[in-house]
DNA sequence: GGCATATATACGCGTCAACGAATGTACAGT
DNA sequence: ACTGTACATTCGTTGACGCGTATATATGCC
Protein backbone atom coordinates (compact mmCIF):
# COMPACT_ATOMS: atom_id res chain seq x y z
CA UNK A 1 0.00 0.00 0.00
CA UNK A 2 1.37 3.39 -0.93
CA UNK A 3 1.99 6.16 1.55
CA UNK A 4 -0.99 8.24 0.46
CA UNK A 5 -3.43 5.41 1.00
CA UNK A 6 -1.79 4.38 4.26
CA UNK A 7 -2.20 7.87 5.65
CA UNK A 8 -5.76 8.24 4.39
CA UNK A 9 -7.06 6.03 7.19
CA UNK A 10 -7.89 8.05 10.34
CA UNK A 11 -6.89 5.31 12.76
CA UNK A 12 -3.53 5.01 11.08
CA UNK A 13 -2.98 8.75 11.38
CA UNK A 14 -3.80 8.44 15.06
CA UNK A 15 -1.19 5.70 15.38
CA UNK A 16 1.41 7.88 13.70
CA UNK A 17 0.47 10.78 15.95
CA UNK A 18 0.98 8.58 19.00
CA UNK A 19 4.35 7.39 17.73
CA UNK A 20 5.39 10.98 17.08
CA UNK A 21 5.51 11.35 20.86
CA UNK A 22 7.90 8.42 21.14
CA UNK A 23 8.07 4.71 20.66
CA UNK A 24 5.22 2.56 21.91
CA UNK A 25 4.58 -1.13 22.33
CA UNK A 26 1.82 -2.71 20.28
CA UNK A 27 -0.17 -3.20 23.46
CA UNK A 28 0.03 0.48 24.38
CA UNK A 29 -1.16 1.41 20.92
CA UNK A 30 -4.06 -1.01 21.19
CA UNK A 31 -5.01 0.57 24.52
CA UNK A 32 -4.92 4.02 22.91
CA UNK A 33 -7.49 3.03 20.30
CA UNK A 34 -10.41 1.68 22.32
CA UNK A 35 -12.73 1.70 19.32
CA UNK A 36 -10.66 -1.02 17.66
CA UNK A 37 -9.84 -4.55 18.62
CA UNK A 38 -6.28 -5.82 19.00
CA UNK A 39 -6.24 -7.54 15.59
CA UNK A 40 -7.45 -4.39 13.89
CA UNK A 41 -4.62 -2.34 15.37
CA UNK A 42 -2.14 -5.05 14.51
CA UNK A 43 -3.28 -4.98 10.90
CA UNK A 44 -2.97 -1.19 10.74
CA UNK A 45 0.53 -1.44 12.14
CA UNK A 46 1.44 -3.93 9.48
CA UNK A 47 0.21 -1.61 6.76
CA UNK A 48 2.18 1.29 8.24
CA UNK A 49 5.26 -0.90 8.38
CA UNK A 50 4.89 -2.05 4.79
CA UNK A 51 4.42 1.56 3.73
CA UNK A 52 7.73 2.41 5.42
CA UNK A 53 6.19 4.69 8.02
CA UNK A 54 7.04 2.72 11.16
CA UNK A 55 9.64 0.21 12.30
CA UNK A 56 9.32 -2.67 14.71
CA UNK A 57 11.81 -3.92 17.23
CA UNK A 58 11.21 -7.02 19.36
CA UNK A 59 11.54 -6.68 23.12
CA UNK A 60 10.86 -10.04 24.68
CA UNK A 61 7.31 -10.89 23.83
CA UNK A 62 6.55 -7.26 23.04
CA UNK A 63 6.94 -5.40 19.80
CA UNK A 64 8.15 -1.85 20.08
CA UNK A 65 7.02 0.41 17.25
CA UNK A 66 8.90 3.54 16.29
CA UNK A 67 8.08 6.26 13.82
CA UNK A 68 9.98 6.30 10.54
CA UNK A 69 9.26 9.84 9.40
CA UNK A 70 11.35 9.65 6.23
CA UNK A 71 8.50 7.59 4.88
CA UNK A 72 6.43 10.75 4.82
CA UNK A 73 8.90 12.48 2.55
CA UNK A 74 7.09 11.23 -0.52
CA UNK A 75 3.95 12.94 0.64
CA UNK A 76 5.85 16.08 1.48
CA UNK A 77 7.54 16.10 -1.91
CA UNK A 78 4.21 15.95 -3.66
CA UNK A 79 2.80 18.66 -1.45
CA UNK A 80 5.79 20.91 -2.09
CA UNK A 81 4.48 21.57 -5.57
CA UNK A 82 1.42 23.23 -4.07
CA UNK A 83 2.97 24.89 -1.06
CA UNK A 84 3.91 27.92 -3.12
CA UNK A 85 0.23 28.67 -3.63
CA UNK A 86 -0.71 29.48 -0.10
CA UNK A 87 1.19 31.75 2.18
CA UNK A 88 -0.33 30.71 5.45
CA UNK A 89 2.32 29.91 8.09
CA UNK A 90 5.18 30.52 5.73
CA UNK A 91 7.00 32.60 8.29
CA UNK A 92 6.52 30.13 11.09
CA UNK A 93 7.61 27.32 8.80
CA UNK A 94 10.74 29.16 7.84
CA UNK A 95 11.50 29.89 11.46
CA UNK A 96 10.93 26.26 12.22
CA UNK A 97 13.39 25.24 9.52
CA UNK A 98 15.97 27.64 10.83
CA UNK A 99 15.58 26.09 14.28
CA UNK A 100 15.63 22.45 13.36
CA UNK A 101 18.04 22.13 10.48
CA UNK A 102 20.80 19.60 11.00
CA UNK A 103 24.05 20.82 12.52
CA UNK A 104 25.94 19.31 9.60
CA UNK A 105 23.89 21.29 7.05
CA UNK A 106 24.57 19.26 3.95
CA UNK A 107 24.21 21.17 0.70
CA UNK A 108 24.89 18.30 -1.63
CA UNK A 109 21.81 19.07 -3.70
CA UNK A 110 21.86 20.24 -7.26
CA UNK A 111 22.87 23.78 -8.34
CA UNK B 1 -14.89 12.82 1.48
CA UNK B 2 -12.05 14.24 3.50
CA UNK B 3 -8.91 15.71 1.97
CA UNK B 4 -6.69 12.76 2.87
CA UNK B 5 -8.97 10.28 1.13
CA UNK B 6 -9.50 12.57 -1.84
CA UNK B 7 -5.77 12.84 -2.40
CA UNK B 8 -5.16 9.13 -1.92
CA UNK B 9 -6.49 8.38 -5.40
CA UNK B 10 -3.76 8.56 -8.08
CA UNK B 11 -6.04 9.90 -10.82
CA UNK B 12 -7.19 12.68 -8.52
CA UNK B 13 -3.59 13.62 -7.77
CA UNK B 14 -2.98 13.75 -11.51
CA UNK B 15 -5.94 16.10 -11.88
CA UNK B 16 -4.57 18.36 -9.16
CA UNK B 17 -1.16 18.29 -10.81
CA UNK B 18 -2.69 19.38 -14.09
CA UNK B 19 -4.60 22.18 -12.39
CA UNK B 20 -1.42 23.32 -10.68
CA UNK B 21 -0.28 24.45 -14.13
CA UNK B 22 -3.39 26.56 -14.54
CA UNK B 23 -7.12 26.29 -14.94
CA UNK B 24 -8.51 23.68 -17.30
CA UNK B 25 -11.92 22.87 -18.71
CA UNK B 26 -13.47 19.54 -17.80
CA UNK B 27 -12.98 18.40 -21.37
CA UNK B 28 -9.27 19.16 -21.31
CA UNK B 29 -8.92 17.21 -18.10
CA UNK B 30 -10.78 14.28 -19.63
CA UNK B 31 -8.41 14.36 -22.59
CA UNK B 32 -5.43 14.34 -20.25
CA UNK B 33 -6.56 11.10 -18.61
CA UNK B 34 -7.00 8.71 -21.56
CA UNK B 35 -7.29 5.70 -19.27
CA UNK B 36 -10.59 7.03 -17.88
CA UNK B 37 -13.92 7.80 -19.45
CA UNK B 38 -15.56 11.19 -19.23
CA UNK B 39 -17.97 10.19 -16.45
CA UNK B 40 -15.11 8.82 -14.38
CA UNK B 41 -13.22 12.10 -14.58
CA UNK B 42 -16.39 14.03 -13.84
CA UNK B 43 -16.90 12.00 -10.68
CA UNK B 44 -13.32 12.58 -9.57
CA UNK B 45 -13.78 16.30 -10.13
CA UNK B 46 -16.88 16.26 -8.01
CA UNK B 47 -15.02 14.58 -5.19
CA UNK B 48 -12.20 17.12 -5.43
CA UNK B 49 -14.74 19.92 -5.39
CA UNK B 50 -16.56 18.54 -2.36
CA UNK B 51 -13.22 18.15 -0.60
CA UNK B 52 -12.53 21.83 -1.22
CA UNK B 53 -9.54 21.21 -3.48
CA UNK B 54 -10.91 22.68 -6.71
CA UNK B 55 -13.47 25.26 -7.78
CA UNK B 56 -15.72 25.31 -10.81
CA UNK B 57 -16.76 28.27 -12.91
CA UNK B 58 -19.21 27.96 -15.80
CA UNK B 59 -18.12 29.26 -19.17
CA UNK B 60 -20.93 28.70 -21.61
CA UNK B 61 -21.43 25.01 -21.84
CA UNK B 62 -17.98 24.39 -20.40
CA UNK B 63 -16.93 24.11 -16.79
CA UNK B 64 -13.60 25.64 -15.94
CA UNK B 65 -11.85 24.02 -12.99
CA UNK B 66 -9.30 25.86 -10.92
CA UNK B 67 -7.06 24.67 -8.13
CA UNK B 68 -7.99 25.68 -4.61
CA UNK B 69 -4.68 25.05 -2.85
CA UNK B 70 -5.87 26.21 0.57
CA UNK B 71 -7.73 22.95 0.68
CA UNK B 72 -4.38 21.23 1.02
CA UNK B 73 -3.54 23.23 4.12
CA UNK B 74 -5.17 20.62 6.31
CA UNK B 75 -2.82 18.01 4.92
CA UNK B 76 0.13 20.32 5.31
CA UNK B 77 -0.80 21.13 8.89
CA UNK B 78 -0.86 17.46 9.78
CA UNK B 79 2.42 16.87 8.04
CA UNK B 80 4.04 19.79 9.84
CA UNK B 81 4.09 17.74 13.02
CA UNK B 82 6.44 15.29 11.34
CA UNK B 83 8.48 17.62 9.20
CA UNK B 84 10.89 18.27 12.03
CA UNK B 85 11.96 14.64 11.95
CA UNK B 86 13.56 14.43 8.57
CA UNK B 87 16.08 16.77 7.04
CA UNK B 88 15.92 15.70 3.41
CA UNK B 89 15.59 18.62 1.01
CA UNK B 90 15.48 21.15 3.75
CA UNK B 91 17.87 23.34 1.86
CA UNK B 92 15.92 23.17 -1.36
CA UNK B 93 12.72 23.84 0.53
CA UNK B 94 14.22 26.83 2.21
CA UNK B 95 15.46 28.12 -1.11
CA UNK B 96 12.03 27.60 -2.51
CA UNK B 97 10.50 29.59 0.31
CA UNK B 98 12.98 32.37 -0.23
CA UNK B 99 12.00 32.45 -3.90
CA UNK B 100 8.25 32.34 -3.54
CA UNK B 101 7.47 34.20 -0.37
CA UNK B 102 5.32 37.29 -0.63
CA UNK B 103 7.18 40.42 -1.77
CA UNK B 104 6.84 41.87 1.71
CA UNK B 105 8.82 40.83 4.78
CA UNK B 106 12.25 39.55 3.88
CA UNK B 107 13.92 37.77 6.73
CA UNK B 108 17.14 36.37 5.25
CA UNK B 109 17.99 34.64 8.50
CA UNK B 110 19.82 31.64 7.12
CA UNK B 111 23.13 31.11 8.79
C1' DG C 1 -37.45 23.98 -32.94
C1' DG C 2 -33.83 20.62 -33.87
C1' DC C 3 -29.41 18.80 -33.39
C1' DA C 4 -24.61 18.60 -31.79
C1' DT C 5 -21.46 19.46 -27.94
C1' DA C 6 -20.12 19.61 -23.03
C1' DT C 7 -20.74 17.93 -18.67
C1' DA C 8 -23.16 15.65 -14.93
C1' DT C 9 -25.86 11.90 -12.78
C1' DA C 10 -28.03 7.11 -12.26
C1' DC C 11 -27.35 2.39 -12.20
C1' DG C 12 -25.32 -2.09 -11.80
C1' DC C 13 -21.12 -4.54 -11.08
C1' DG C 14 -16.59 -6.07 -9.54
C1' DT C 15 -12.98 -5.22 -6.31
C1' DC C 16 -10.89 -4.02 -2.24
C1' DA C 17 -10.45 -2.48 2.39
C1' DA C 18 -11.68 -2.77 7.23
C1' DC C 19 -13.82 -5.13 10.74
C1' DG C 20 -14.63 -8.84 14.63
C1' DA C 21 -14.17 -13.57 15.94
C1' DA C 22 -11.38 -17.27 16.05
C1' DT C 23 -6.96 -19.14 15.85
C1' DG C 24 -1.95 -19.38 15.52
C1' DT C 25 2.78 -18.30 17.23
C1' DA C 26 6.23 -16.88 20.34
C1' DC C 27 8.02 -15.70 24.65
C1' DA C 28 7.91 -15.56 30.06
C1' DG C 29 7.29 -17.42 34.41
C1' DT C 30 6.86 -21.23 37.37
C1' DA D 1 5.95 -29.10 30.66
C1' DC D 2 2.30 -25.98 31.49
C1' DT D 3 -0.07 -21.73 31.64
C1' DG D 4 -0.60 -16.98 30.74
C1' DT D 5 0.51 -12.96 28.09
C1' DA D 6 1.59 -10.37 23.81
C1' DC D 7 1.02 -10.07 19.26
C1' DA D 8 0.08 -11.68 14.50
C1' DT D 9 -2.64 -14.04 11.01
C1' DT D 10 -6.72 -16.29 8.86
C1' DC D 11 -11.48 -16.28 7.65
C1' DG D 12 -15.88 -14.66 6.35
C1' DT D 13 -18.73 -10.63 5.97
C1' DT D 14 -19.96 -6.04 5.00
C1' DG D 15 -19.64 -1.61 3.10
C1' DA D 16 -17.40 1.69 0.33
C1' DC D 17 -15.06 2.89 -3.92
C1' DG D 18 -14.15 3.09 -8.80
C1' DC D 19 -15.43 1.77 -13.16
C1' DG D 20 -18.16 1.74 -17.77
C1' DT D 21 -22.65 2.04 -19.97
C1' DA D 22 -26.54 4.46 -20.44
C1' DT D 23 -29.05 8.54 -19.68
C1' DA D 24 -30.11 13.25 -18.17
C1' DT D 25 -29.24 18.30 -18.26
C1' DA D 26 -27.64 22.15 -19.96
C1' DT D 27 -25.77 25.43 -23.63
C1' DG D 28 -24.52 26.66 -28.57
C1' DC D 29 -25.57 26.90 -33.32
C1' DC D 30 -28.41 26.77 -37.39
pLDDT in tens, B14-71: 999 999 999 999 999 999 999 999 999 999 999 999 999 999 999 999 999 999 999 9
What is the CATH number for A43? 1.10.10.10
A45 domain-assigned:
yes
- B76 contacts A85? CB cut-off 8 A: no
Instruction: Measure in Å the smallest separation between the Cα of A31 and chain B Cα atoms.
Output: 23
At residue B110, the pLDDT reads 41
Q: CB neighbours (10 Å) of residue B92? A: 14
A14 domain-assigned:
yes
A109 domain-assigned:
no
In this complex, the residue of B16, B20, B94 whose CB is nearest that of residue A97 is B94
- B8 contacts A4? CB cut-off 8 A: yes
B90: chain A residues, CB-CB within 8 Å: 97, 101-102
Instruction: Enumerate the nucleotides of strand C whose atoms come under 7 Å of any protein CB.
Output: 5-10, 17-22, 26-28
B81 domain-assigned:
yes
State how far the alpha carbon of B54 is from the alpha carbons of A79, B5, B14, B27, B39, in Å. Answer: 15, 15, 13, 15, 17
- A96 contacts B84? CB cut-off 8 A: yes
How would residue B109 be classed by pLDDT, with cut points 50, 70 and 90?
very low
Please name the nucleotide lying closest to A31, CA to C1'.
D6
At residue A56, the pLDDT reads 97
A85 domain-assigned:
yes
A28-53 mean pLDDT:
97
B108 domain-assigned:
no
Q: Is the pLDDT reported for residue A59 higher than 70?
A: yes
A106 domain-assigned:
no
Write out the residue range of the structural domain in which residue B76 sits: 1-101
A108 domain-assigned:
no
Q: Residue B70: exposed, middle, or buried by beta-carbon count in 10 A (0-12, 13-18, 19+)?
A: middle
A20: chain B residues, CB-CB within 8 Å: 81-82, 85
Number of domains in chain B: 1
- CA B52 – CA A73 distance, rounded (Å): 24
Question: What's phi and psi for A58, nearest 5 deg?
Answer: -75, 145
- B87 contacts A101? CB cut-off 8 A: yes
Amino acid sequence: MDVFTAVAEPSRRTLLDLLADGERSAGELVASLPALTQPAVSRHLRILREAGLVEVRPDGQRRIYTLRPEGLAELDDWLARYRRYWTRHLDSLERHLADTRTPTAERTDQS
